[in-house]
Chain A
Amino acid sequence: MTSYAYFFGCIIPNRYPGVEYAVRWVCGKEGFDLDVEETKEFSCCPVPGIFYSSDKDTWLLLAARNLTLAQNTRREILTVCNGCFTSLLKATEYLQDPKRMGKINHVLAQIGKKYTGVPKKTEGRRRIMEPVKVRHYVEVMTSDIGIDAIAERVTRPLNNIKVAVHYGCHYLRPTENQTIDDPNDPVLIDRIVEACGATSVDYEDRLDCCGAGGGVRSHVVDLANSLTEDKCRNIAAAEADCIVTGCPFCLLQFDNAQKSFSKDGIPVMHISQLQALSMGIDPISLGFDTHHVSAHSLLRKLRGA
């Protein structure tokens, strides 16, 4: 059985604790009971829009530090965020270059760490190493647990709910790093949504960016919001009850941006929260009160009112 290490990143613990609760609940005893462990020494992944954009050496050092922690416990990193996923995955690819790995290890020696990758097999006396595995929550759910198992555990099917799925750019692109889903026609989150009993609605430009990434939200918030407005208009036209995403930064953008152009807004949640709802969790544990857009309309509909 595969063992994992939680990697929650920055946004989930500090802005959306409900997502953290949902992920722990779904992966824990009440849910699929995965072998997943806390690694308290993880730092920021670091965020690609800031560190990968301003100094790649620093970015790789900090990412390599996180990777060594999972390497030493022989665990796969279970990321819940597209940003963490793309940043750490890209770092493992950069570290495949032996020259670069040597340079990084030279600095990591100052803090007593070394990145080698994890042993895959031995050929004679040579150990063949492979990079530390970086996994996305959605990928773990669909390939390690399986859609059928997800559907089996549903105790409260979300039959009357229409969901607009937003995948997020770094889940889909660039494809030289990602192979978990088809970048032009992704299906995995939709499958989880359907397994939970809800209906995933199609809407125009569903693969478009939410607008937050790459430092745009931090730099020109109006620009980021205007991109979100376009998406929300299309989502509203499809009459969706909520937006479901696999990325907390997209969640944050949808959640915060909506108050700049609409009064009520469409509730937004992480895919793990939707799963937890279908598995019969008490919605009060999902921390919807930390969301800016109220989830009341959705919860009322769920109760069948």
Chain B
Amino acid sequence: MIERLRTALREFGLPRLLIAAFLFILFAVAVATHMNLSGLVSDCITRVARNGILVLALLPAIQGGLGLNFGLPVGIVCGLVGCVISLNAGVSGVTGLVLAAGIGVALAIPAGLAYGWLLNRTRGQEMMVGTYLGFAIVSGMSIFWLLAPFQNPTLVWAIGGKGLRTTLALTGIYDKILDHWLSFTVAGVTFPTGALVAFGGLCWLTWLFFRTRMGITIAAARSNPRFALAAGISDERTRIQATVLSTTLGALGIIVYSQSFGFVQLYTAPLLMAFPAVACILIGGATVTRSTIGHVIVGTLLFQSILTVALPVTSQVIEGDISETARLIIQNGMILYALTRLRNT
């Protein structure tokens, strides 16, 4: 009996248990202090839908044997370029969003190919290379945002008329267009149906993908490169395929994120975006070498809920704000924990 409990605990993972317990305590305090519980739950769901695709973007990279894709900003900036181009053209509504997504994906594919090529040349250090490439690309794009010939006066700095602003409001263009689509409220809890459908749909498509010929070979090459070679699979190719998929999902992820957030954030905003996403998938139970759609969903739910609930709850109990501190401890602690387990997998 005790043995079975122990195995169950090991399978669920101690860190996940602690985080779930922490979340439970936060909710308990929220109830005890008579906070607006339905509002909190609404916020949680909104943030899950907002961040989910960025977390999902990490899955193909893990399945492809590239570890945690700290180079997620490569995909993110592609999505941002898509947004800015569609905004500059003044296309709004669904058409604008689709245009942004189309351009984002069109850019993410070649970017993913190049990123994958780079990772094949730096085998064994994918995570470090990804981190540095992410930093480099965000800085490089900062120059691009300043110099690119965008003319639309709503986008560029009011004084001087050159260079994009750091934050572009989407109000009246496609602000929350997915979140509001078919949105409904039950018992005070609002569901951002469109964004949830986008997240769920992409999860389903990714799940399907890993059941196709290409998906199976990607996972097989990750699982055993020598086996793959013997089966006539080039693992350099499958690694590039995985990188392209991850980068493309990153581009789509930031577009869904931006419409839900209501702003397109440029310059250094994408710099650290990979880290919370990585923490999410790890809290969900993924390891550096193996993950599933379930890990993506559970992890996003746990981590984003904590972020949402911790701020209002802790400010009720303690003077001052510790939610940012808690976020950093959980986020980076989780990444560290996953890396310590790397050798055992």
B partners with A: no
